[in-house]
Chain A
Amino acid sequence: MEVGTMSATLTLEVARDRKAAAALIALERVEKVYRTGKLEYPALRGVDLEIDAGEMVAVVGPSGSGKTTIMNMITGIDRPTGGSVMVDGQAIHALSEEQLAIWRGRNVGIVFQFFQLLPTLTALENAMLPLDFARKGSKHERYDIANHNLELVGLGDKLDHLPAELSGGEQQRVAIARALASDPKLIIGDEPTGNLDTQTAAEMFELLHRLNDEGKTVLYVTHDLDLAARAGRIVTIRDGLVVGQ
């Protein structure tokens, strides 16, 4: 393990020299093999991908092609089996689980397909949670930020509602407000509109677009080709490889 870490760090240093200045996200020869029992399943087979700051990118591809795995590599939710992942000059693959958690809390906003809100916390508390973990600002400042973000997503009047008291679209808005908590440069969505009706999905997409206009880098996985077409760039994945950009 020690040797592996050393070489990874070396690769990282080389990578930093070459790429850091240009791209916000840089994946180089990223491989990921999932092991379940005796079976090995290669989800990514040497992905090279660069995304610049301020881009809005849609990742598309059939089921099981490796879309979500790419997202998980970028957010550090999963670790690559090989290759390097650089985000905003940070070598993600070299960080420990603890460092990753802290890094995510401060630098990335993630929106999940099933919203994944904490059911016992109110909308406001859910939107404040990343700030609580990151211990950013005073209690009042955290409240103000969460309040502002909920107003931004149009839920300023439902601060004290529990997730169970909100509609699907509203829950996803809370999830977006939560993703914005630490004012991250990067917003990642894993099928963010996959569980919403067409009308709500369109509204949600508008919201992501607005955030991108304000300078956030937005990266989302989708099955919906119409929604994908509205991104600045489409990355197509098939069988663990980038087949089109």
Chain B
Amino acid sequence: MASAVLKKSVTDLTRRKARTIFTVLTLAIAVASVGIFAIPSLMNTAMQKEVQANKLPDLTLNLKPVSLTSAQLSTLRRLPNVVAAEGRSYLQTRVWIGDRRVKAVIISAPSYRNQSVDVVSLTSGRLPSGSSVLSDVQNGKQGRFSGREGSTIRIVGVGNRTVEAPVSGVARNMVGDQAAIGLDAVVLYATPALLTRLGAETGYSSLELRLADRSKLAADRTVAATRRYLKANTSFTGFSNLPELRKPGSYPGKELFDQLASIMNVFTVLALLAGLVLIANTMTTLIGEQRREIGMMKAIGGTRRQIRRVYLRTALLLGAAGSVIGVGLGLLVANMVVRYFGSSFFAISPGFEVSLPVVVASMVVGLVAPPLAALPAIRRGSRIAVREALEEVPALQGGQAVADRALRRLSFLPRTAQIGVRSVTRRGRRSVATVAQIALAVGTLLSVLALINSVTTTTNAVWNQARWDIELNTVVGRQLDARADAVIRATPGVARAQPALTNLIKFDGKDAFLNGYRGRPLFDTPISHGRWFSTQEAAERAPVAVMASNLARTTGTDVGDHVALQTGAGLKSFHVVGVTSTQWNNGTALYVPLQTMQTYLGIDTVNSYLIQTTSSDHAAIDRTTTRLEDRLTAAGYGIGTEVKYSGQRANVSQNKAISTAIGVLGLLIVAISMVGLVNAITMSVLERTREIGVLRCIGARAREIRRIFAAEGLAVSLFGWLLGIPVGYGLARIFSWLMLETIGIDFGFTFPPLNLLIALVGTVLLALVIMQLPLRRAVRLKPGEAIRYA
């Protein structure tokens, strides 16, 4: 008996091969959804590997270029807490790609042979010497410059000299890669000699240090010691920017990824939910079909326990097969997403990685969920009376519930559609599960569309608040002084020029911008509380600040509070006099008088200008931009430019790309749900095989059979769509809140009614397409075989 019972568990699977394969694949997709949880950890592993290989600096100090001898650099390396130190020089300029002038950043390290910090690693060719340069791997990937060893590149130098530099190879470096993506520039690695030939100010414009103790206190001490040493021994006057302390485990862009990951997790939970419903649904159907056999086994002496065991084993076998495929599928999907995110946003090419905890979790879900989900159905099945099970004529159930009576009112439909629609209630539990899955899919789709819409609308609205046309910046290298100011103001096409000092800081552990202006900036800064600082306060270098509302909200700051900021000259306290609702700089900026900031940094230069042009014509703006670039470069200033109209376009499309990338994960839920629909219709066709035979016997043609089942599928889809609207509304609210909480940007809330129509059309079309397989099976059934089907 035992062996025959055991055999039944297996032969139940081999008897109907197509159905077994379908069930296993369904379970596999559900198990694969667990694999998505691996994405953040896989991404982190890949980035940590990169951080290790790159020897990212723990502390970066930006300075007005200072010349250091190698002996002085060695002394800096011996300062307490310093493990390694390197100097870096930068030149923001342009290069010629054919006839086009393209933004460029030239990075120079004293030696590429022995790098102990911020490593530039060769991917092909050889290290640069003399005038040759390495091209960043992202130049080619971004389609800006595809030159490799053997080619040359023309670099625009200071004072209008152009240098034709041979390319010695291709290299990668985390900071450079990020610059190539984020700054829209060609990134090249050169020798200090080439930088001098290009006319850049000699000396290092940043010092990069790796520390033994990376705590804030120890880092502050190192900053102070470095400042003391530089002041005593070099021409150093002050840091041009606030010291950047990298948090342990952090990397450029980590914050963005963490934010994305938290939103991704919401999708993963939804996908898992959809997967579990799918498992439950599949197993319930499977057991439901075996009622007659259960009756038969009981009739010949099988106990409830024995019968339960038979089906639990079958469920376990299905789960095991589903797990094996699902784990593989999950690994594949997770690695593909990581690869996509890695190459699109972080300039890395992650290798294939396995997250063991997620694999174990997937296996557990795959092995435990199917028997667990099958248990209620197995219990119900094993309790059935023998006579009832054996006499059951499947076609005789249903049609008497309230829902059936309601559906009978749809008498205006063609008969085939009526049969289909009324069938929805025949397997109520399954229909409810399928409707729920489709509702989840529609809800996800609606919320993602709403998210993309809000992000695009808000991004455009923020840019529309800008009254400047060109932004000049010298993030690194020589700063803009009074002479640069004169050059800018004398350039034809410039109507207004506003100097600014912008810095990226950490405030309460959050990324924030510290922006210094002499008064109100050239973009709208509506005040929601308090006031803007006065020109008198600015002139008196008062420690006052206006905080952007998102930063104020996340840090719990309000008008009247005092905030302490780490500046190059130590900790300084600012009095918050107002809160502005501007979303510029993600609504996370702190606005202070320019003069105050300059005093604290010990400088009289700025690193940015907002420029209003005399004409708003795009061609005129472009001409003015070129003129500014030429004149400032000729005067010895390496600058970068951002034109508002193209920046707006780029920003909108980038934000759209990010929100779409998040949305792509949502498609997984749509896929799982649609498998649910295929499952439901396939099972419906299988269960009603005999009925199809009868219909064929009384004159139904293939298209009528097709219409009956298509109507059933469409009815389920339409119910799903209807239920999906409130689900989508709720999810969209959650995402809007999540964006504010995690990314800190108030993208607002939109739920455009047009999207309901898009979702409706999408649901109907997708349902029609994916139902083709089960429908084909239904119409291909031969009446003779269908009638004999049991």
Contact = CB atoms under 8 A, between A and B. Distances in A.
A192 to B, nearest CB: 14
Interface string A29-52: 000000000000000000000000
B426 A119 contact: yes
Interface string A101-113: 1101110001010
B415 A77 contact: no
A104 B697 contact: yes
A216 interface: no
Residue among B408, B416, B690 facing the most chain A CB atoms (10 A cut-off): B408
B396 A129 contact: no
B694 A101 contact: no
Contacts of B701: 98, 101-102, 133
Contacts of A125: 415, 418
Contacts of B697: 75, 77, 104, 110
Interface stretch (B67-75, B265-273, B781-789): B781-789
Interface in B397-450: 397-400, 404, 407-408, 414-416, 418-419, 422-423, 425-426
A77 B782 CA distance: 8
A118 B691 contact: yes
A119 B704 contact: no
Interface stretch (A14-22, A56-64, A162-170): A162-170
B336 interface: no
A164 B698 contact: no
Nearest to A178: B698
Contact of A119 (B399, B414, B416, B787): B399
Given A97-B782, A116-B395, A162 B700 contact: no
B398 A120 contact: yes
Nearest to A117: B395
Nearest to A108: B697
Nearest to B397: A119
Interface in B681-700: 690-691, 693-700
Contacts of B396: 117, 119, 163-164
B698 A105 contact: yes
B775 to A, nearest CB: 16
A184 B20 CA distance: 43
Dominant SS at the B interface?
helix
A116 B690 contact: yes
Contact of B397 (A134, A164, A181): A164
A83 to B, nearest CB: 16
B723 interface: no
B393 interface: yes
A163 B399 contact: yes
A111 to B, nearest CB: 10
B694 A112 contact: yes
A72 B782 CA distance: 12
Nearest to B394: A119
Contacts of A110: 697-698
B702 interface: yes
Contacts of A98: 701-702
Contacts of A178: 698
Interface in B330-382: none
Interface residues of A, number: 37
A151 interface: no
Interface in A109-137: 110, 112, 114, 116-122, 125, 128-130, 132-134
Contacts of A132: 414-416
A141 interface: no
Contacts of A134: 699
A242 B487 CA distance: 113
A67 B106 CA distance: 92
Interface string A56-84: 00000000000000001001011100000
Contacts of A222: none
A120 B419 contact: yes
A119 B699 contact: no
Nearest to A109: B698
A182 interface: yes
A79 B393 CA distance: 27
B699 A102 contact: yes
A97 B702 contact: yes
B783 A162 contact: no
Contacts of B415: 125, 128-129, 132-133
B393 to A, nearest CB: 5
A118 B700 contact: no
A104 B699 CA distance: 5
B698 A129 contact: yes
Contacts of B419: 118, 120-121
Residue among B423, B698, B783 facing the most chain A CB atoms (10 A cut-off): B698
Contact of A72 (B418, B422, B699, B784): B784
Contacts of A75: 697
B696 A101 contact: yes
Q: In the complex, which range does the number of interface residues on chain B fall in?
A: 35 or more
Interface string B689-732: 01101111111111010000000000000000000000000000
Given A97-B702, A104-B698, A105-B699, A121 B782 contact: no
Contacts of A105: 698-700
Interface string B455-494: 0000000000000000000000000000000000000000
A162 B396 CA distance: 9
Contacts of B691: 116, 118
Contacts of B704: 133
A118 B695 CA distance: 9
Residue among A77, A114, A162, A164 facing the most chain B CB atoms (10 A cut-off): A77
A238 B395 CA distance: 32
B399 A106 contact: no
A116 B782 contact: no
A75 B698 CA distance: 10
A75 B784 CA distance: 10
B178 to A, nearest CB: 62
Contact of A162 (B400, B694, B699, B702): B400
B782 A133 contact: no
Contacts of A114: 393, 395
A156 B419 CA distance: 23
A9 B396 CA distance: 41
A162 B395 CA distance: 12
Contacts of B418: 121, 125
A119 B398 contact: yes
Contacts of B699: 101-102, 104-106, 130, 133-134, 182
Contacts of B416: 132
A132 to B, nearest CB: 4
A100 B700 CA distance: 10
Contacts of A78: 782-784
B706 to A, nearest CB: 12
Given A72-B784, A78-B784, A97-B782, A120 B698 contact: no
B782 to A, nearest CB: 7
A162 B401 CA distance: 11
B11 to A, nearest CB: 14
Nearest to A166: B396
A204 B608 CA distance: 98
21 contacts: A77-B693, A77-B697, A78-B782, A97-B696, A104-B698, A105-B698, A105-B699, A112-B694, A116-B691, A116-B694, A118-B419, A118-B691, A119-B426, A120-B419, A120-B425, A121-B422, A125-B418, A129-B695, A133-B415, A162-B400, A164-B399
Interface of A: 72, 75, 77-79, 97-98, 100-102, 104-106, 110, 112, 114, 116-122, 125, 128-130, 132-134, 162-165, 178, 181-182
Q: Which 5 A-B pairs have the closest CB atoms?
A: A105-B699, A120-B422, A78-B784, A132-B415, A133-B699
Interface of B: 393, 395-400, 404, 407-408, 414-416, 418-419, 422-423, 425-426, 690-691, 693-702, 704, 782-784, 787
Given A78-B783, A101-B696, A120-B399, 13 more contacts: A78-B784, A97-B702, A101-B701, A116-B690, A116-B691, A117-B395, A120-B398, A120-B407, A120-B423, A121-B418, A163-B396, A164-B396, A182-B699
